[in-house]
Homo-oligomer: A and B are copies of this chain.
Amino acid sequence: MRRIWILRLSHRRERDKRLTTHVALTARALGAEGMAYSGDIDTTLEDRIKDINRRWGGDFKVEYIEDPVKWINLMKMNGFKIIHLTMYGVNISDIINELRKYDKLVLIVGSEKVEKIYFEISDYNVAIGNQPHSEVAAIAVFLDRYFRGRELRKKFVGGEYYIIPSERGKIVKKKVNGL
């Protein structure tokens, strides 16, 4: 089974609250297992994601880590390859086939400026295009290409509700016994 974790660096509780939430929700919807974050501890963020799991299913994890470098080394020891997503890196189109060989990945995204150590400690620095854009977009494109689009068909186990895709309108159904 493929296992993907996100590492969101230097979360600032006030300033980044919505963007870090979007990072987590995107990672969750596109097939990642969890998000670790450093910077400010933010229990509101953690509760928001728990609430999404409760309503929409799955078991996406959010974990605060105090020392990102230590955590990265731990993940490396557990067989994870470390991918830093940055506009300065190698174009994803040139490297995604190689990265698909690994089934355990950590994707690092910063909030503002990312310290040099992360360029060095990572196994790969990968650019989702060499133009400035968004860490949310970077995660989305990376995961969609990595999973070859299959992640968007995934059913989330548990939760209270599910959606029936619809050409026009909103069809939300209540789950029975989480199925």
Contact = CB atoms under 8 A, between A and B. Distances in A.
A167 B89 contact: yes
B28 A131 contact: yes
B88 A130 contact: no
Interface residues of A, number: 55
A134 B125 CA distance: 24
A128 B145 contact: no
B134 A22 contact: yes
Contact of A152 (B93, B119, B152, B171): B93
A92 interface: yes
A166 B89 contact: yes
A134 B132 contact: no
Interface string A22-45: 100110111000000000000000
A134 B163 CA distance: 16
B152 A92 contact: yes
A162 B130 contact: yes
A132 B30 CA distance: 10
Interface string A111-148: 00000000110001101111111101111110011000
B133 A25 contact: yes
A132 B170 contact: no
Given A89-B166, A125-B169, A129-B154, 11 more contacts: A18-B18, A22-B137, A29-B132, A29-B137, A56-B132, A88-B170, A90-B167, A125-B166, A128-B152, A131-B156, A133-B140
